Amino acid sequence: MAHPRPTTPEQRVLVALDTPDVDRAVTLSRELVGSVGGVKLGLEFFNANGPQGVAQVTRGTLEETPHGQPVPQQPLFLDLKFHDIPNTVAGAVRSVMPLTPFILNVHAGGGPAMMKAALDAVNFAAEPLGTVRPVLIAVTVLTSMDDGDLDAVGQRGPAGDQAVRLAELTQKCGLDGVVCSPHEIARIREACGPDFRLIVPGIRPAGSATGDQKRVMTPRQAVEAGADWIVIGRPITAAQDPAAAAKAIADELNG
């Protein structure tokens, strides 16, 4: 069974720690225990610091269970977007399972055999660890790609249609959901139904700076549209008091 959906407003918020700096990530992660549903560590952090760096971010908030298995108090969304042949992706999934991520992702563009191999690998690896398996999601179309970019790589547009096609394929392969932009939530929800999990970046609390994000929604709009988890980086990490910024977001979701 996959890790359950969020049940509180705090659990819905995943904070993106986009930094190569371990100390900063550890500090933010500790400050935010309890006020967010988890931390997202991606390619920038992982390639700078490796699995040991990831473990450090979670280890500072770890306890030992009676079975000696570490349990992160700050859940981990490991955003490594695997994309390779099925055998290699399965191996990559097995290699990161000891970090006990609760969300993991692959590229839907890797195809059905690759997605199924990743799913088999999480199921197989979670069992001996005695954990519920991570939520396995796919990236559909990178939001940095427009219709012209899709055409350049031989993919059929428009980008919104391709995202729905890949979400449907992801669901057919048995994966749990996709990462999508706020503006794709409604269409993917309609196509894939209420059980499919949607993880949504491009979120800005009302009144905060949009930075390089162009088509944003507020946390509340995204959740009302059907997002399960929302991914928020700078509005929390660049705040003077990150925990207070996270709490304000949870309050907005509550209110």
| Residues labelled as active-site residues | 81
By CB under 6 A, the residues from 16 to 75 that bind ligand C5P are 16, 18, 42
- Give the shortest CB-143-to-ligand C5P separation in angstroms: 4
Does 15 sit near ligand C5P (CB under 6 A)? Answer: no
By CB under 6 A, the residues from 137 to 156 that bind ligand C5P are 143
Looking up tokens 């490594």, which residue turns up? Answer: 80
Strands in the chain per DSSP E: 13-16, 38-42, 62-64, 70-72, 76-82, 103-107, 135-139, 177-179, 197-200, 229-232
Looking up tokens 């306890």, which residue turns up? Answer: 63
Instruction: Give whichever of 117 and 208 is closer to ligand C5P, judged by the CB atom.
Output: 208
- Give the shortest CB-252-to-ligand C5P separation in angstroms: 15
- Give the shortest CB-231-to-ligand C5P separation in angstroms: 5
Does 201 sit near ligand C5P (CB under 6 A)? Answer: yes
- Residue with smallest beta-carbon separation from ligand C5P: 233
- Give the shortest CB-201-to-ligand C5P separation in angstroms: 3
Instruction: Give whichever of 171 and 181 is closer to ligand C5P, judged by the CB atom.
Output: 181
CA distance 110 to 87: 12
**How many residues belong to the site for ligand C5P (CB under 6 A)?**
14
Instruction: Give whichever of 16 and 96 is closer to ligand C5P, judged by the CB atom.
Output: 16
Instruction: Give whichever of 2 and 14 is closer to ligand C5P, judged by the CB atom.
Output: 14
Instruction: Give whichever of 127 and 241 is closer to ligand C5P, judged by the CB atom.
Output: 241
Binding mask 228-247 for ligand C5P (x = CB under 6 A): ---xxxx-------------
Does 218 sit near ligand C5P (CB under 6 A)? Answer: no
Determine the distance from the C-alpha atom of residue 126 to the mean position of all C-alpha atoms in its chain, rounded to a whole number.
Answer: 18
- Give the shortest CB-215-to-ligand C5P separation in angstroms: 10
- Give the shortest CB-11-to-ligand C5P separation in angstroms: 18
By CB under 6 A, the residues from 169 to 198 that bind ligand C5P are 179, 181
Interface residues toward ligand C5P, by CB under 6 A: 16, 18, 42, 143, 179, 181, 201-202, 211, 213, 231-234
